[in-house]
Amino acid sequence: MDTVNRLRAMASLCRQTAAHHPDRNWKLLAEAEYWEHLANDARLDHTCTSGVSLPAIGDHANTTQSARGVAACALSVYPSPFDGHN
């Protein structure tokens, strides 16, 4: 989780710098969004891979079960926009 915190700190630094440099704020805000995206991906990787083991190749039953577990984990980290949460 230390990686997630560092990536979010980079995003915060970009947003703070954008506030002080209006001539470059579009670039800095885009960079902040990039860092946030990386942080979200790192959080998803950390959350979902900590308890998931990959099945052997050709083991269809375990592959399906593992895929369902990864999909459920992804939905818990990135909830559906259609759930009515605004």
| DSSP designation for 34 | H
**Alpha helix locations (H) across the chain?**
2-20, 25-49, 60-77
Minimum mean pLDDT range among 23-37, 46-60, 65-79 = 65-79
Question: What confidence score (pLDDT) does residue 25 get?
Answer: 94
Q: What is the mean pLDDT of residues 8-24?
A: 96
Structure pTM?
0.56
Q: How many CA atoms lie within 13 A of 70 on its CB side?
A: 12
Average pLDDT across the chain, whole number: 75
HSE-up (13 A, CA, CB side) for residue 33: 6
User: What pLDDT does 57 receive?
Assistant: 56
- C-beta neighbour count of 22 within 10 angstroms: 9
